[in-house]
Amino acid sequence: MGGYTLSKVVKIALDAMGGDSAPASVVDGADIAKAKSPHIEILFVGDENIIRPLLGKSKFFKNAEVFHTDQAVSSSDTASQAVRRGRDSSMWLAIAEVAANRADAIVSAGNTGALMAMAKLQLRTMPGITRPAIAGFFPTEHNPMCMLDLGANLECDEENLVQFALMGQAFYLSLMGKVNPSVGLLNVGEEEQKGHEYLRLAAQELSNPDLGVNYCGFVEGSDLVKGSVDIVVTDGFSGNVALKTAEGVAGLFALMLRRTFRASLLSRVGYLFARNALKLFRARMDPRRYNGAVFLGLNGIAVKSHGGTDALGFSNAIDVAANLVDHGFIPDVSAAIKKADLIRDKRKICNE
């Protein structure tokens, strides 16, 4: 799959039918992304009868390419149903463009399970990777933190976790530009004797200096937003629970705060005075800024947008895809995994 490094034009295939407010949020999101990154080209995959009128009102995509299909994956489909029946769906066909090297990345706000299953089938897992993972960013007190896996693998072993750390490192470098980002393993305490057996084994492997991972030990749920490490590695069950709990608590706070400012005339006046500062606060905590989870470990770039996001959130997912293409993410991951495999093989030979 060519064209990942320093390509002048980045072509992104969008599943225009995935997401709660698709295709409007997809078309508008593409406009926002193009204004920011003029070097992107978009292929819209979906129902041309609905998409074309929306493109008429678009700033950059009046004459954009639309790959027509009237089929779409439903949010209620299971992954296996989607794979069996959805070969003509906008999601499948958008991924196929990447598999056939006609696009550099695919972005969808549709059904996560279906997207993962279809992406695995068409893009295939990278040589040496046992399981792909879903990675995403969280806001913290300091720099954004990357967590993986967010739900692709409910049960993991130490080998999976070590690979997640390596993939996370390459991912963080691509998107945040930080060399040698720090890695923590999510656990129920920082002490070494705590937690599952496979966590202790993963900790041991990650501490091997030959691996080249800047491993900083166990972290807890409360560390996630402190920014104490750049990358948090965990199994997909805990990662999904942590992600959704964080989203829920953030949403509750925002709701209660809105109610607080509406509670009385005085508090409304207070809001008016503090409005500008509160806008900055909201902007910093805005979940749309962190939208765009990436499937790591595949031979191609697939980005999952939150299904409930709007055009601004969707544009961020497109940005994530474009940045990964720009920074040669796929060859980076591939090199890291090869190195880890060599270390593992060497150790096996030494142990024999």
Which residues in this chain contact a copy of itself in the complex, by CB under 8 A? Answer: 76, 78, 113, 139-141, 151, 154-155, 186, 188-189, 191, 193, 195-196, 220-226, 234, 236-238, 240-253, 255-257, 259-261, 263-264, 266-267, 269-278, 280-281, 284-285
Q: Pick the closer one to a copy of itself by CB: 49 or 260.
A: 260
Q: Pick the closer one to a copy of itself by CB: 46 or 139.
A: 139
Q: Which residue has the tokens 């080998």?
A: 159
Least Å from the CB of residue 10 to a copy of itself: 32
199: tokens are: 């966590």
- Which residues, in sequence order, are CB contacts of 145 under 8 Å at separation 6+? 137, 138, 224, 225, 227, 229, 230, 231, 232
Least Å from the CB of residue 220 to a copy of itself: 5
Least Å from the CB of residue 96 to a copy of itself: 26
Q: Pick the closer one to a copy of itself by CB: 44 or 138.
A: 138
Cα angle 95, 99, 104; round to 5? 80
Least Å from the CB of residue 278 to a copy of itself: 6
Pairing between strand 105-108 and 182-186?
Answer: unpaired
Q: Pick the closer one to a copy of itself by CB: 8 or 284.
A: 284
Q: 21-27 — which CB contacts under 8 Å span 24+ positions?
A: 21/310, 22/46, 22/109, 22/110, 23/47, 23/50, 23/51, 23/54, 24/54, 24/311, 25/109, 25/309, 25/310, 25/311, 25/313, 25/314, 26/109, 26/314, 27/51, 27/54, 27/55, 27/58, 27/61
Cα 243 → chain centroid:
12
Least Å from the CB of residue 272 to a copy of itself: 7
Least Å from the CB of residue 85 to a copy of itself: 16
Q: Pick the closer one to a copy of itself by CB: 209 or 273.
A: 273
Q: Pick the closer one to a copy of itself by CB: 195 or 212.
A: 195
